[in-house]
Amino acid sequence: MAPPPPSTATVSQPVIDSATSATHRPAEPGNITQPIAVVSERLPWRQTFISLRVPNFRLFAIGHFIAVIAVWMQRIAQDWMVLQLSGSVTAVGITVALQFMPSLFLGPWAGMMADRFAKRKILILCQCMAAVLAATLAVLAISQVVQVWHVYVIALVLGLVTVLDQPARQVFVNELVGPKYLRNAISVNSTTFQLGGLIGPALAGILLTAVGAGWAFSANALACCSTVAMLLLLRKDNLFITAPTPKRKGMLREGLHYALSKPTIYWPWLMAGFVAVFAMSLPVILAAFADHVYDVGAAGYGLLNALVALGALAGAVASTRRRQLRLRSVVSCAGMYGLMLCLASLAPSLLWFGVAMVLSGFWCLMFLTGSNQLVQISSNMGIRGRVMSLYIMVLIGGQAIGGPMIGWVAEHVDPQAAILVSGGVPALAAVAVAVVIARKGRLTLKLDVRDRRHLVRVVRRESAQPMEGADTPAPAAGTAAHPC
């Protein structure tokens, strides 16, 4: 049975490639974009999580929430255990790099697998492997024979599992809810992840202090098993399953060309690269602040991560209230995230540092959710797995590069310098990208002192001559807002 319609009116974009630049090409298989749902009025609060009305997605969200809490517990316990075993923040960064490096090299291949095979079966296989790895790490930690190289090996193998799991998981959301609820479902998933990120680090801090890291790994192994059970309980007849894409030559090249042909894909892709390399290794920096700056131990490390997750949870809820999704708002959110990290480097006390972490989490999540939504709704289902794998390759693979680099700066210079670099580079990149987008879209800022609600607005310079190749057409009536 199809999901119930929302009470607010929605309009859908014609199935043409409206997210591309000024020149529109014929509607070929690689050029077609799924309809983009545009909410014509602000949703009532009771419909903030409207996608949970879909039974399959509701079941998936419950299982995902349990799993996310456990994943956060393992992530915090793993990083802190490596720090205690090695005494090196750089070693923590190496652990992050090993876990994310496979996405840097195998991401496009994983996206092709997500397009060619059933996403549900891929997820079941990946969760079974993750359960085995978490159980192995738990046994090593509880028996007190664990060494740093053990964690390195398990992190690398887990990265191989994650590289296949992530694109399949991203695309599977569409099969659960269909295109109408996709944007809301992405926001709900982000809310679930951040709520788990609020609970998981706090629980990890308690377990690390009370009984040790091994029990956090055990909890993650059990959670992976519960995720498998949830996937098996889904009603297949209610899934919006798309036909697998047949294997042919040039599939990866086709996905790359498709992504580079759309501003609403490649600009979020570029910003995700800057954020991933410099600003997504925040747990590594927080480990240095907890141990070397504020001396608050494992419990304090868990608390700092929980504060980031608290802000991100607020950002996830705010993202469900978005009426319009614009490219410029995604870029500005990335810039605000970088700015908050820069302000954190100047925090005079732990209290103000914690406040900066809450604000950082909020803007980070607003960027990640917005860019994820923009990339997904700008690509058709037949190629979405490859497009998302490229996005995830940049987002996760960038952390493989940034983790050791930021960890080295935190250890050999100081943590304040590390967090300043983490925020400063994405902030400057956001300013540069915003200038380019404004020039291509002929946009400018307008000050209107008579309108208190919109004192500063972004408007189009109608008299200006467009740049060659600029994304100039105004949105058609009844379609999504202009991508800039």
For every residue of 24-58, DSSP letters joined together read: PPP--TTT------EESSPPPGGGTTGGGGSHHHH
Distance CA 298, CA 100 (A): 23
Does domain 49-440 fall under CATH 1.20.1250.20? My reply is: yes
Rounded CA-CA distance 214/212 in Å is 6
**Surface-to-core class of residue 139, CB atoms within 10 Å of its CB (0-12 exposed, 13-18 middle, 19+ buried):** middle
pTM beyond 0.85: the answer is no
Inter-residue contact 386 to 71 (CB < 8 Å): no
How far is it, in rounded angstroms, from Cα 103 to Cα 140? 26
Provide the pLDDT for residue 484.
42
Return the pLDDT at 257. 84
Gap between the Cα atoms of 312 and 306, Å rounded: 10
Question: Cα 83 to chain center, whole Å?
Answer: 26
User: What was the pLDDT predicted at 212?
Assistant: 78
Q: Residue 414's CB: how many other CB atoms inside 10 A?
A: 15
Instruction: Name which of 174, 178, 185 is nearest 50 in CA terms.
Output: 185
Residue 251 scores a pLDDT above 70: yes
Helix spans in 321-349 (H): 327-344
Contacts of 101 (CB under 8 A, 6+ apart): 156, 159, 397, 400
User: For residue 112, is pLDDT > 90?
Assistant: no
Q: What is the pLDDT at residue 169? A: 84
Question: For tokens 């009532």, what's the residue?
Answer: 44
How crowded is the C-beta side of 397, counted as CA atoms within 13 Å? 18
Could you tell me how many residues make up the chain? 484
Position 48 confidence tier, pLDDT thresholds 50, 70, 90: low
Q: What are the CA-CA distances from residue 251 to residues 132, 293, 334, 383 (Å)?
A: 32, 49, 31, 9
- When mean pLDDT is compared over 189-193, 329-333, 440-444, the highest value belongs to 329-333
pLDDT tens digit sequence for 312-325: 888 877 877 776 77
State which amino acid sits at residue 190.
S
Q: Give the whole-angstrom CA distance, residue 64 versus residue 47.
A: 20
Span 253-265, mean pLDDT? Answer: 82
pLDDT of residue 30: 38
Q: Is the pLDDT of residue 26 over 50?
A: no
Domains in the chain: boundaries: 49-440, 441-484
Residue 302 has pLDDT above 50, yes or no: yes
CB 261 within 8 A of CB 390: no
Question: What is the reported pLDDT for 458?
Answer: 59
Q: Please report the pLDDT score of residue 454 as a whole number.
A: 57
The pLDDT of residue 443 is 60
Lowest mean pLDDT among 153-162, 351-360, 446-455: 446-455
| pLDDT for residue 185 | 83
What's the CA gap between 117 and 90, in Å, rounded? Answer: 38
86 in Cβ contact with 146 (< 8 Å): no
Q: In the structure, what pLDDT confidence band is assigned to residue 452 with cuts at 50, 70 and 90?
A: low
Summarize pLDDT for 380-436 with one digit per residue, the tens: 777 777 787 788 778 877 877 887 888 888 888 888 999 999 999 999 999 999 888
Q: What is the pLDDT of residue 79?
A: 85
- Which of 138-146's residues contact partners 24+ apart within 8 Å by CB, and which partners? 138/214, 138/215, 138/217, 138/218, 138/221, 139/214, 140/214, 141/81, 141/212, 141/213, 141/214, 141/217, 142/212, 142/214, 142/215, 142/218, 146/81, 146/85
Q: How many CB atoms lie within 10 A of CB 240?
A: 18
- Identify which has the larger pLDDT, 17 or 64: 64
N-to-C CA span, the chain: 37
Lowest-confidence segment of 66-75, 280-289, 438-447, 452-461 by average pLDDT: 452-461
